[in-house]
């Protein structure tokens, strides 16, 4: 697999120019004879900004989710197909299905912001979800963007109408030849009764299947979903969870979120009084009851400065050199993440930002420790926003190994001690907003995009000191 083709996948609208540059470098290095310095692609309307990008790891085709369009481009950015998704007549206060709940609101021509764009490789299709009609999705054929299905007749088909990117993330989990699963985390914008913040859905191979996007499990007692309790919104009126990134690794699915802190019993009604925390959420892939839910804060620190506002992340391999410095193997997963300074101003993050690395092994070790101490009956579950109160951990003599997927006690489990990453690079100006990486000659090469559209190429190298994570320093190429 050509890893270079993977890197632009995570870049958000902020990092778009970076994504283009990456593509350019990649295509230039392949066709040296090209005399054009670079190729560009613009949507037909200046206001229809790009929201998501997916590059097919086999064909190199570039899929772009934009406002009102999904595009398919060739690797040299020649347009192949433009698929219209909007604008359409809609009103955010209309709750589908319209047949069941006719809507008397005034309908206006509304933009469809692309919220999710994922290639479902084993079925050769593209999942594209928008902000219209409470957030419906289409499955498009990869070849020509022909609509295979656009399920929109029941509640489960609506994922959330929040019309901002950087609020929803999805991960497809599939074993060869079987029906897939879609894990979805999304901001709900106060509609917590209607939309779960996190859920897992069926993704049948047959696009016509009536089970498309149904919750994996839904009963009166246990379900594959988590809702924000209305008590939490009563206490903190602007509470929501923003899903910045997600991925699968080993037996687990991970989501990286930013959410307001909810100090116990303290009511906060002004958005400007909120402190935000970035969190890693982990679930077992095979746990339809969601008993494996664990969430820990994460971030990184340099000197006295704490970086706690997640901006972007990318899962990659470390390469031999960084792997040695981190005391892991080159085959293990490493998460590269960008954080902005502090815990306030999530919506206007400070320019001071940091690039940090988290070996997944380390993340898992922290989670295992947290589980083990809770099952020894120590402390509370520490998940105020979801539990609404302090709930004590229950002592239970259960062996907790690396693949422990929870029981009906001691779940869902939170925590307050942050998992801190290895700080690779910081910059006080021109906030870093996107990240991608690949391995070249055993070296990890990290590309970072900034808010003004600059591209930094960062090579974390091992310093001359003692081996170990502490001695990772940085070379700018």
Ligand X SMILES: *[C@@H]1O[C@H](CO)[C@@H](O)[C@H](O)[C@H]1NC(C)=O
The site for ligand X (CB under 6 A) is made up of 67, 74, 76, 78, 91, 93, 105-106, 108, 111, 113, 163, 327, 468
Buried residues in 400-435 as b, exposed as e (16+ CB within 10 A): beeebbbeeebbbbbbeebbbbbbbbbeeeebbbbb
Nearer to ligand X by Cβ, of 104 and 397: the residue is: 104
Sign of CA dihedral 226, 247, 52, 60: negative
Q: How far is CA 370 from CA 179, 375, 404, in A?
A: 33, 9, 12
DSSP structure string for 165-177: SSSEEEEEE--TT
Closest separation in Å from C-beta 56 to ligand X? 12
Q: In whole angstroms, give the CA distance from residue 93 to residue 71.
A: 29
Nearer to ligand X by Cβ, of 363 and 413: the residue is: 363
Nearer to ligand X by Cβ, of 377 and 470: the residue is: 470
Closest separation in Å from C-beta 92 to ligand X? 6
Closest Cα to residue 167, out of 183, 191, 155, 185? 185
Closest separation in Å from C-beta 106 to ligand X? 4
Q: How far is CA 21 from CA 38, 252, 456, 459, in A?
A: 8, 32, 11, 18
Q: CA-CA-CA-CA torsion for 234, 236, 240, 241, nearest 10 degrees?
A: -120
The size of the chain, in residues, is 477
In contact, 69 and 43? CB cutoff 8 Å: yes
Nearer to ligand X by Cβ, of 267 and 327: the residue is: 327
Helix (H, G, I), strand (E, B) or coil at 86: coil
Closest Cα to residue 158, out of 131, 136, 129, 186? 136
Nearer to ligand X by Cβ, of 256 and 323: the residue is: 323
In contact, 318 and 439? CB cutoff 8 Å: yes
Closest separation in Å from C-beta 434 to ligand X? 19
Closest separation in Å from C-beta 117 to ligand X? 16
Closest separation in Å from C-beta 429 to ligand X? 28
Nearer to ligand X by Cβ, of 75 and 151: the residue is: 75
Closest separation in Å from C-beta 109 to ligand X? 9
Nearer to ligand X by Cβ, of 94 and 383: the residue is: 94
Nearer to ligand X by Cβ, of 93 and 175: the residue is: 93
Q: How many CB atoms lie within 10 A of CB 288?
A: 17
Q: How many CB atoms lie within 10 A of CB 37?
A: 7
Closest separation in Å from C-beta 166 to ligand X? 13
Q: How far is CA 392 from CA 197, 296, 379, 385, 389, in A?
A: 24, 17, 6, 15, 10
Nearer to ligand X by Cβ, of 108 and 267: the residue is: 108
The residues, ordered by sequence, that sit 6+ positions from 57 with a Cβ below 8 Å of its Cβ are: 1, 2, 5, 6, 121
Closest separation in Å from C-beta 177 to ligand X? 31
Nearer to ligand X by Cβ, of 108 and 416: the residue is: 108
Backbone phi, then psi, for 391, in 5-degree steps?
Answer: -120, 125
Nearer to ligand X by Cβ, of 67 and 136: the residue is: 67
Closest separation in Å from C-beta 77 to ligand X? 8
Closest separation in Å from C-beta 149 to ligand X? 25
């Amino acid at each position: 697999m050509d890893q270079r083709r993977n890197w632009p996948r995570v870049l958000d609208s902020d990092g778009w120019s970076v994504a283009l540059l990456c593509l350019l470098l990649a295509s230039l290095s392949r066709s040296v004879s090209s005399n054009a310095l670079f190729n560009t692609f613009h949507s037909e309307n200046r206001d229809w900004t790009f929201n998501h990008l997916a590059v097919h790891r086999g064909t190199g085709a570039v899929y772009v989710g934009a406002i009102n369009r999904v595009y398919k481009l060739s690797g040299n950015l020649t347009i192949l197909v433009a698929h219209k998704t909007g604008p359409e007549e809609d009103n955010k206060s209309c709750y589908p299905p319209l047949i069941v709940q006719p809507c008397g609101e005034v309908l206006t021509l509304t933009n469809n912001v692309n919220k999710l764009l994922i290639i479902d490789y084993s079925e050769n299709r593209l999942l594209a979800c928008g902000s219209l009609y409470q957030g419906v999705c289409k499955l498009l054929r990869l070849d020509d963007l022909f609509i295979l299905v656009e399920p929109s007749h029941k509640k489960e088909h609506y994922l959330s109408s929040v019309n901002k990117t950087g609020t929803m993330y999805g991960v497809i989990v599939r074993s060869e030849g079987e029906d897939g699963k879609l894990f979805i985390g999304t901001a709900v914008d106060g509609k917590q009764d209607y939309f779960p913040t996190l859920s897992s859905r069926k993704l049948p191979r047959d696009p016509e299947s009536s089970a498309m996007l149904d919750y994996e499990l839904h009963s009166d007692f246990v379900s594959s979903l988590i809702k924000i309790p209305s008590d939490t919104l009563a206490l903190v009126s602007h509470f929501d969870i923003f899903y910045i990134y997600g991925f699968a690794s080993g037996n687990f699915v991970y989501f990286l979120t930013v959410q307001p802190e909810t100090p116990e019993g303290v009511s906060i009604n002004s958005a400007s009084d909120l402190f935000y925390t970035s969190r890693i959420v982990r679930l077992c892939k095979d746990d339809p009851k969601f008993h494996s839910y664990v969430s820990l804060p994460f971030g990184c620190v340099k000197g006295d400065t704490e970086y706690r506002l997640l901006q972007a992340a990318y899962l990659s391999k470390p390469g031999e050199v960084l792997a040695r410095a981190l005391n892991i193997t080159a085959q293990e997963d490493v998460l590269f993440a960008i954080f902005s300074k502090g815990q306030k101003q999530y919506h206007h993050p400070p320019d001071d930002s940091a690039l940090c690395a988290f070996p997944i092994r380390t993340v898992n070790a922290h989670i295992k420790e947290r589980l083990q101490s809770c099952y020894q009956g120590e402390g509370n579950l520490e998940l105020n926003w979801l539990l609404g109160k302090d709930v004590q951990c229950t002592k239970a003599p259960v062996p907790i190994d690396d693949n422990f997927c929870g029981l009906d006690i001691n779940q869902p489990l939170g925590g307050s001690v942050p998992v801190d990453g290895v700080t690779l690079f910081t910059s006080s100006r021109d906030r870093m907003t996107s990240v991608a990486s690949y391995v070249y000659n055993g070296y990890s090469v990290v590309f970072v995009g900034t808010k003004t559209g600059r591209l930094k190429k960062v090579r974390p190298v091992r310093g001359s000191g003692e081996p170990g994570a502490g001695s990772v320093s940085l070379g700018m190429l």
